[in-house]
């Protein structure tokens, strides 16, 4: 029987590349489209090194409907789509809102408009816990109400979810699984793929590992005067491979017609809140590598604390975060060492 074809937009990115590996290992045929604006073509070598199969790759922009149409003509019978392609830097979105609204929304609109024509059964959408803003109560469930977005990036996630649900409610002939990620961290245990942000990392772990290896002088911990046990912010740090595996389960629900509702929404988190300082100490204890840090002013826009209630994903999706945080930290460090070995950083 021929393999089921899945289109992964943004598939050379951080979460996309780890998901492509898990999809291939689960027996799917993967096609990637990516404009390489925040990743590089060598990621395909890393994927192939792990799975032995180089995914089909189309260099292109999902905001260009003609590029997408040509892709669907070139690769007929795509059963499902996983949509990672989006800009995702909170700070940058405040400076360049139109870039974020155009890139993140037009790409989604293009996919939704073309899916019926090419009989694609459904789309897995990459959303984020940022839709909850600063929740009144933690842990958050999928029915925790949205708060007004605190950045254009977060707003594009809220609007995208509404575009998908309104379109399906109107009778569109496809389904959707919306995955709300908490804080993805770590790297593949093979160290063949990992997080490789362009420029100065905005996210905690890449900045932390670059400090540990000496690329950065010290880590700034953005505030330790929050109303939390140790004063630093609390997040739900989820291993990127655990996260990737959830996407395989989500796309299977679509292509194997297992969904209970036309739109299903899941929080993807461990269910455990960990503070920035706790994470820092976990890294040091797990790797034996010191990380010089200073406490600085709070970062504008940061929320104090958010972590998931992942029961729905555990019960309905049949998914649970499994990688211990210490192992995630060791994998992040192994990836940073590999980048040094390859002369990349």
The contact set with ligand WQD (CB under 6 A) reads 88, 90, 128, 130, 183, 202-204, 207, 219-222, 233, 235, 276, 299, 302
- C-alpha dihedral sign at 197, 202, 205, 207: positive
Give the span between the Cα atoms of 345 and 195, in whole angstroms. Answer: 12
Q: Which is nearer to ligand WQD, 75 or 222 (CB)?
A: 222
In DSSP notation, 80-91 reads EEEE--S---HH
Between residues 21 and 131, which has the closer beta carbon with respect to ligand WQD?
131
Distance in Å, CB of 181 to ligand WQD, minimum: 6
- Report the nearest approach of ligand WQD to the CB of residue 128 (Å): 4
Go through 1-39 and write b for each residue having 16 or more CB atoms within 10 A of its CB, e for each that does not. Answer: eeebbbbbbbbbbbbbbbbbbbbbebebbbbbbbbeebb
Q: Which is nearer to ligand WQD, 87 or 176 (CB)?
A: 87
Q: Give whichever of 63 and 127 is closer to ligand WQD, judged by the CB atom.
A: 127
Smallest separation (angstroms) from ligand WQD to the CB of 15: 8
Residue whose tokens read 């809140």: 273
* Sequence-ordered list of residues with C-beta below 8 angstroms from that of 283, at least 6 positions apart, any chain: 208, 209, 212, 289, 291, 329, 332, 333
Output the six-digit token pair for 9: 């937009």
Cβ proximity to ligand WQD: between 46 and 201 the closer is 201
**Least distance from ligand WQD to the Cβ atom of residue 204, Å:** 4
Q: Which of 156, 167, 45 is nearest to 116 (CA)?
A: 167
Residues 6+ apart with CB under 8 A from 261: none
Among left, alpha and beta (phi > 0; psi -120 to 50; other), residue 257 is left
Return all residues near 47 (Cβ < 8 A) that are at least 6 apart.
Answer: 17, 20, 21, 24, 53, 54, 55, 192, 193
Question: Phi and psi (nearest 5°) for 97?
Answer: -60, -40
Q: Minimum distance between the CB of residue 257 and ligand WQD, rounded to whole angstroms? A: 30
Q: Which is nearer to ligand WQD, 47 or 204 (CB)?
A: 204
153 counts as catalytic: yes
Q: Which residue is nearest to ligand WQD (CB)?
A: 233
CB of residue 43 to ligand WQD, shortest distance in Å: 17
Pairing type for strands 219-222 and 234-235 reads unpaired
Catalytic residue among 100, 153, 181, 226: 153
Please identify, using beta-carbon distances, which residue of 27 and 301 lies nearer to ligand WQD: 301
Residue 103 CB, nearest approach to ligand WQD (Å)? 14
Q: Which residues are catalytic?
A: 153
């Amino acid at each position: 029987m021929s393999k089921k074809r899945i289109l992964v937009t943004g598939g050379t990115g951080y979460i996309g590349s780890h998901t492509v590996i898990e999809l291939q290992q689960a027996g799917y045929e993967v096609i990637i489209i990516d404009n390489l604006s925040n990743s590089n073509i060598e990621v395909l070598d890393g994927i192939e090194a792990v799975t032995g199969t180089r995914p089909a790759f189309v260099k292109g922009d999902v905001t260009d409907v003609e590029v997408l149409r040509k892709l669907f003509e070139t690769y007929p019978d795509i059963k499902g789509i996983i949509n990672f392609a989006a800009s995702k830097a909170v700070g940058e979105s405040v400076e360049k809102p139109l870039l974020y609204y155009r890139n993140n929304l037009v790409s989604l609109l293009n996919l939704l408009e073309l899916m019926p024509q090419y009989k694609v059964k459904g789309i897995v959408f990459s959303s984020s816990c940022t839709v909850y803003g600063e929740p009144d109560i933690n842990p958050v469930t999928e029915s925790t109400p949205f708060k007004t977005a605190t950045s254009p990036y977060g707003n594009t996630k809220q609007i995208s979810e509404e575009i998908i649900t309104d379109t399906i409610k109107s009778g569109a002939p496809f389904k959707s699984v919306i995955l709300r990620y908490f804080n993805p961290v770590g790297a593949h245990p093979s160290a063949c793929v990992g997080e490789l942000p362009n420029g100065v990392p905005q996210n905690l772990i890449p900045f932390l590992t670059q400090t540990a290896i000496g690329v950065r002088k010290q880590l700034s911990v953005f505030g330790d005067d929050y109303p939390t046990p140790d004063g630093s912010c609390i997040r739900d740090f989820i291993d990127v491979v655990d996260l990737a595996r959830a996407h395989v389960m989500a796309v299977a629900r679509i292509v194997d017609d297992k969904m209970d509702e036309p739109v299903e929404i899941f929080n993807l988190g461990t269910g455990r809140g960990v503070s920035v300082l706790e994470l820092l100490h976990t890294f040091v204890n797990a790797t034996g590598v010191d990380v010089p840090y200073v406490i600085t002013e709070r970062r504008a826009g940061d929320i104090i604390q958010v972590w998931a209630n992942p029961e729905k994903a555990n019960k309905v999706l049949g998914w649970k975060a499994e990688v211990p945080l210490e192992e995630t930290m060791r994998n992040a460090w192994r990836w940073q060492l590999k980048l040094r070995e390859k002369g990349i950083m």
